[in-house]
Amino acid sequence: MVSILNKIVYDAIMRMISFSKIRIGKASKVNKIMKKEEDTAEKMREEIDTFRRDMLREYEAYAMDRISKEEFKQRKMIIEERIKKKEGEIADHKSRIDLERDSCGPELKSICGTFDGVKNLTNEMVKAFIKKIVVNPGNEIEIKWKFKDPFYQDA
């Protein structure tokens, strides 16, 4: 059982290293995409600033008796809903950016480079990559990585 477990763990670590190499190879493309995504998030933040300026103009109109208190409240509520919606969009967008950025971070790349080409499982490899190994009933093996698992994607 130990030799089978060693092979499974070694194969899993080698897949992690291979995945890291693929990600490094695509880094320039990913960086361009990330820049575009960050620019999009910045434009969304600018839209929120515009909404806030709109709200200030509405308040000024109310303060100068150009609109009623009720009309100001209605307009303010609409603008606040727009801000809230846009903030939600920014949060979703940011989580996608963070997910892409974290999927193969610099620490993982460094460790993968250290063990690239190693032919046998070593204690150092296990300590570098694995937090915990769980053998479930039916001999199902579950590896808990020290890093975000790049093979698992949330649905």
Kind and range of the H or E run holding 141: strand 140-145
Kind and range of the H or E run holding 88: helix 69-102
Quote the pLDDT of residue 147: 75
Could you tell me the pTM of the whole model? 0.50
Quote the pLDDT of residue 69: 95
User: What's the CA gap between 58 and 53, in Å, rounded?
Assistant: 9
Give the number of other CB atoms < 10 A from CB of residue 13: 23
pLDDT per residue rounded down to tens, the chain (155 residues)? 667 888 888 888 888 777 776 665 555 566 677 788 888 889 999 999 999 999 999 999 999 999 999 999 999 999 999 999 999 998 888 877 776 665 556 667 777 778 878 888 888 888 888 888 888 888 888 888 887 665 554 43
The domain segmentation of the chain, as residue ranges, is 2-145
User: What's the CA gap between 82 and 76, in Å, rounded?
Assistant: 10
Quote the pLDDT of residue 29: 65
Q: What is the DSSP string of 25-83?
A: HTHHHHHHHHHHHHHHHHHHHHHHHHHHHHHHHHHHHHHTTSS-HHHHHHHHHHHHHHH
